[in-house]
Structure 1
Amino acid sequence: RLSMGEKIDRPEQVGGYPEVVSGPAPRDTDHDGMPDDWEIAHGFGLTDAGDAIGDADGDGYTNLEEYLQSLVDEGLTPRPEVRGISIDRPGGPFTVRSEASQLPIVRVGGDQRSFYAHAWFQDEVRLEVSTRSAGRVDSVYPPRIQDRVKVSGTGIELYVAEEGARVFDQGANGNRLFAFFDSYPQDSLQLDDDNVIDAGRYGIVGNRDNVTHKLQAALDAAAKVPGGVVFIPSGDLEIDTVRVPTGVMLYLAVSSVLYSSGKSTDGAMILFDGVENAGLSGPGVIDGRGDEGLPSAAAVAVRNARSIVLKDLMVRNPSGPGIEITDSRNVKISRSKILAVGERQGIGGLHFNRCESVICERSFISGTGIGISIQASGSGGAVGRTRAISVHETTVLSTGLGISIGPHSDQPIQDVVVRDSDLICSGQGISIAARHGAGGIEDVVFKDLTLDVRPVAGDPETGRPFCVLNRSEGPLRHVLFERVRANAWATSDIAGSSSWPIEDVRFWGVELTAGDIARSDPQPLFRLRQVRRPQ
């Protein structure tokens, strides 16, 4: 009753019905009532519906009841201490645990011994990393990330308090684990906002149907709304090529997967072409099905565009380049991951050509060719040169070159900065090579790097940490390597030509650890030819 003595018989008398916010159902592969993300985080199988009635912690409550209780405990938005990213075909020689959670692991990079795990976390978390096979985890780097680390059994125990990649080694010639941690995003998407279009309204459901035309219709509709966002709910979908219009953000839910149909047009799955102020955001997955022999296509391509944001992407198993940026300005790539799965050559990686003002930060880039390629090849387009490229706090894993600047420099390549990053590669580490064109390469800085380069068996020219080469008709000058720690299995070449010598190349505070280069028939660490003012 009210204080006035009246009977309550209408909801309006007590404020009306509460607003109930709905959303897409989370992905549940085995239909056992427990979402995939929750099962992965707690070490359950995604294809075993019977684990719902199990009691993993022996407290008398089933696993399904534990999940339902977590909804109440977390206010309908469950956020465990560490939430693993769903990875297709998981498996590997490492185990990563946080309390009761176990993270999935997948082999990446094509070298047979590199593995990857990824998780979201909040606050400080305690992790245990150990091996499933013989041997032990005997090191973790980079040292600049200040974790509390101690040896525990056959593994390592550490407390993670900041974002970034940790690399765990199982001995000099053993396996290697890249574990990437991101803090939970602070800006969550609200489906009831006027500018957000739920792709489910266009008949898009996660049953692996080809939704190219439906998704394009949703994107075109969002272009008519200021600040339009298209939200892709959880589930497996398939696309040919979709084009993101000007002013639109495409957002992938945590358990959504966009698979390539193998019929991509214009050489890309998701394309930004001639647009501006647009973006693509995860944490959902873009899967190119590269190990299934599909035609080569970039997972994401940005062409003749400006002011593009690519954030929290998970590109998995691409059939061509992971991310390709051409003739574009003001592009930012943040907290994104490119996982080259399988042994197909020349896939993955991050590729720039004739771009200006591009940033790649806090990302993981893997490829079975070049990790990061920076060129100024060809002519025409909106930009016509490559300038102001910044890569920082990024880990690069490749079975070819780690970072390549050149060899095509038809137009100038200027102002490239790579810092606070880690390169792990087979073949060669860093190549600045102008072999073609007259544009030249100028003002390049590599600072505060760890460079782990390994030779390819039977190829004496591999294992080279640095190559600076000018065979073009333009200048190559003002190159700085500062505070770089690297190993060397072959002599680093610094060589210009008689008509265009290299000018002003500096190695400041560089530490080199010699491999086979220091054994029988020792070779020099550096070979300099036609170089002016080296330091």
Structure 2
Amino acid sequence: MLLKTVAAVASLMIATVCGKVKSAHFGLKVDGTDMYTVSYARYDYVQLSMEEGKPTEFRIRTLDKKPITSFRITPQKLPISAKAQGNELVFSVKKAHYLIVKINDKKEFVILADPLEKDVPSPSGKNVFNVLNFGADATGATVTKGIQAAMDAAAKTPGSVVYVPPGLYSMGNLLLRNRTSLYLAGGSVLRFTGNPADYKTLFKKSDLHPGTWWIQTEFDSFDIKVYGRGTIDGNGRATRENKYMADLLVPAGTTNFRCDGVLVRDSSFWAVTPIQVTEATITNIKILNRFDVTQDDGIDVIESTKVRVRRAIAIGKDDSFSTKTWPADTGTTVPYPYAPRAQRDVFFDDCVAWSDTYGYKLGQGVHEDQEAITFQNGVVYDAAVGFGIDHKFGSATARRIAFKNMDVERLHGNAHGQAAWMTVYVQNTGRGVGPVRDVWVKNVRARARGSRPAFLQGYNASAMVSGVTLTNIRMGADGKRATSLKEMNILETNFSENIKVVN
């Protein structure tokens, strides 16, 4: 639903509310218009769209009406000037942002503001296949087959769009067909049932459960797009209770995949996994997972080439953003379309991470080379490790890795013994060791350094960490520039060489 305010002439979209409980903690008005705030696990959230370029006023109110005595807004680096007025926090922005707001001692409130949509298809336009015309059940009462039926029909006319109107759609596996687009209108929710009988089991993870790829691309396909302001809901906790799990959105064995604007939530396993993809662009994606479901990674890019992830937020217990390569026909890799591939030219830009493990990570799998991987302009709201390289499995090489313009705001706990703003290290778990070469860490604000020393550590003379350049690393609350590894709290440096600090 689109609302228009008079004061700021901003168009705003109410969050999808199908099956969602309204927040008991926060209300929000945007230019005087009330938004639907959603209650969720450990944090609440709101989703909306806004016109950019003009000031848009946000008024967050605490529903217990207690005065606001403390607050912080992430990303802290943004020039947002907020003020407390009784039980309201007020600020204005000209650009849409993904924000995490902490007020008093309450749970966090996540604001997911996107620019206005472009190129919205008509539900009855030419070459638009409305799922309601194919018998899709928009009430969620049955496991609908209408969306796949619409997709199969659209595939006969390359370039067609499958249109999902507002509603709740319980759905089995969905195969995205060659040269088709899936449009999820605001207010539409695709929901995983959590019942293993409704799905085709594709893999078994040895330390967890059997699983499936819920929404995946056709192999050897081209030009597939998933977009809109709708929600892909993995029903993760209930799925895990049924001893099952699913990757939610899986572009696999495809070329020129695009995803824009959707909200992905409550994953029972890795949420979004580009697997052996060539050229993919993922933008304006919002991944909201729980903290009581393990291994619920946000975006894992696997054995792919030319992948761009821009303007994203990923929240959950496990890694927010990561890259991996794996061996063939082992556990989760059984359904992969091709033999193992190297990973090259992967780029994460302007993302926000909140995790109990890593915010941004290369690894743990490095069974094939990973080269030219860049994480830049990233913010870590909170994590055990801000960012780094964990070469844990495999004997291939990680090289030409860059972390640029990163901001680590808070750290807590540890991830497999690591608890630092950055860590680069090689482990031996009996599944191979390999080198890490040519790493650039530049323009980093480590507001928190972590409870343990940072690592630049290889394993042996053939699995060294080498050629690491650290430039303009600012540590602590005062942002003092560090001039040595010691000032950066990098104390573990065995089997490392050619480490440079440049200021």
Tell whether the structures are fold-level matches, with TM greater than 0.5: yes
Q: CA deviation at 1:167?
A: 2.9
SS of the residue aligned with 1:197? strand
Aligned equivalent of 1:48: none
Further displaced range: 439-448 or 396-405:
396-405
Matching residue's letter, 2:422: F
Q: CA deviation at 1:143?
A: 4.8
Q: Determine the C-alpha separation between the residues in 1 that align with 2:36 and 2:62.
A: 14
Aligned equivalent of 1:95: 27
User: Superposition pairs for residues 323-334 of structure 1, below 5 Å?
Assistant: 323-334=272-283
Q: Determine the C-alpha separation between the residues in 2 that align with 1:212 and 1:205.
A: 6
Q: Does 2:421 correspond to 1:465?
A: yes
Aligned equivalent of 1:337: 286
Aligned equivalent of 1:270: 215
| Alignment check: 8 A CA contact 1:389 1:415 kept | yes
Q: Determine the C-alpha separation between the residues in 1 that align with 2:166 and 2:488.
A: 56
| CA offset digits 1:170-191 (Å, max 9, x no partner) | 36x7643332211111212123
How many positions carry a matched residue from both structures?
452
Q: 1:264 to 1:514 in 2, by over 3 A?
A: farther
Identity %, equivalent residues: 17
| Alignment check: 8 A CA contact 1:355 1:383 kept | no
Q: Determine the C-alpha separation between the residues in 1 that align with 2:453 and 2:108.
A: 25
Aligned equivalent of 1:485: 445
Q: Does 2:187 correspond to 1:187?
A: no
Q: Determine the C-alpha separation between the residues in 2 that align with 1:509 and 1:307.
A: 36
| CA offset digits 1:436-494 (Å, max 9, x no partner) | 3221101111111211342229x994532111112454321111121111212221111
| Alignment check: 8 A CA contact 2:28 2:35 kept | yes
Q: CA deviation at 1:132?
A: 4.2
Q: CA deviation at 1:392?
A: 0.7
Q: Does 2:178 correspond to 1:252?
A: no
| Alignment check: 8 A CA contact 2:326 2:340 kept | no
Q: CA deviation at 1:264?
A: 2.7
Aligned equivalent of 1:125: 56
SS of the residue aligned with 1:534? strand
SS of the residue aligned with 2:237? helix
Q: Does 2:237 correspond to 1:291?
A: yes
Further displaced range: 243-252 or 483-492:
483-492
Aligned equivalent of 2:393: 436
Aligned equivalent of 1:316: 265
Q: Does 2:75 correspond to 1:142?
A: yes
Aligned equivalent of 1:300: 249
SS of the residue aligned with 1:322? coil
Stretches of structure 2 lacking an aligned partner (at least 5 in a row): 203-211, 329-335, 479-485
| Alignment check: 8 A CA contact 1:131 1:137 kept | no
Q: Does 2:139 correspond to 1:215?
A: no
Q: Does 2:57 correspond to 1:152?
A: no
SS of the residue aligned with 2:251? strand
Q: Determine the C-alpha separation between the residues in 1 that align with 2:268 and 2:72.
A: 33
Q: CA deviation at 1:118?
A: 2.2
* Higher Cα radius of gyration: 1
Matching residue's letter, 2:366: S
Matching residue's letter, 1:117: V
Q: CA deviation at 1:502?
A: 1.2
| CA offset digits 1:243-281 (Å, max 9, x no partner) | 011001011121111111232324122111312211111
Matching residue's letter, 2:318: G
SS of the residue aligned with 2:377? strand
Q: Determine the C-alpha separation between the residues in 1 that align with 2:394 and 2:274.
A: 20
Stretches of structure 1 lacking an aligned partner (at least 5 in a row): 1-36, 42-69, 74-78, 516-521
Q: 1:432 to 1:348 in 2, by over 3 A?
A: closer
Q: Determine the C-alpha separation between the residues in 1 that align with 2:440 and 2:87.
A: 40
| CA offset digits 1:37-60 (Å, max 9, x no partner) | 47xx7xxxxxxxxxxxxxxxxxxx
| Alignment check: 8 A CA contact 1:426 1:462 kept | no
SS of the residue aligned with 1:393? strand
Aligned match for 1:404, one of 352, 361, 366:
361
Further displaced range: 241-250 or 87-96:
87-96
| CA offset digits 1:362-419 (Å, max 9, x no partner) | 1111122121221111148267011111111111111222222112211100111111
SS of the residue aligned with 1:464? coil
Q: Determine the C-alpha separation between the residues in 2 that align with 1:365 and 1:450.
A: 15
SS of the residue aligned with 1:218? helix
Q: Determine the C-alpha separation between the residues in 2 that align with 1:427 and 1:384.
A: 30
**Bigger fraction of residues in strand:** 2
Matching residue's letter, 1:408: G
Q: Determine the C-alpha separation between the residues in 2 that align with 1:269 and 1:514.
A: 43
| Alignment check: 8 A CA contact 2:13 2:186 kept | no
| Alignment check: 8 A CA contact 2:75 2:381 kept | no
Aligned equivalent of 1:27: none
Q: Determine the C-alpha separation between the residues in 1 that align with 2:381 and 2:24.
A: 19
| Alignment check: 8 A CA contact 1:354 1:376 kept | yes
Aligned equivalent of 1:34: none
User: Superposition pairs for residues 36-47 of structure 1, below 5 Å?
Assistant: 37=1
Q: CA deviation at 1:208?
A: 1.3
| CA offset digits 1:279-299 (Å, max 9, x no partner) | 111211111111223420111
SS of the residue aligned with 1:185? coil
Further displaced range: 98-107 or 270-279:
98-107
Aligned equivalent of 2:332: none
| Alignment check: 8 A CA contact 1:483 1:510 kept | yes
Q: Determine the C-alpha separation between the residues in 1 that align with 2:291 and 2:499.
A: 41
Q: RMSD of the alignment, in Å?
A: 2.9
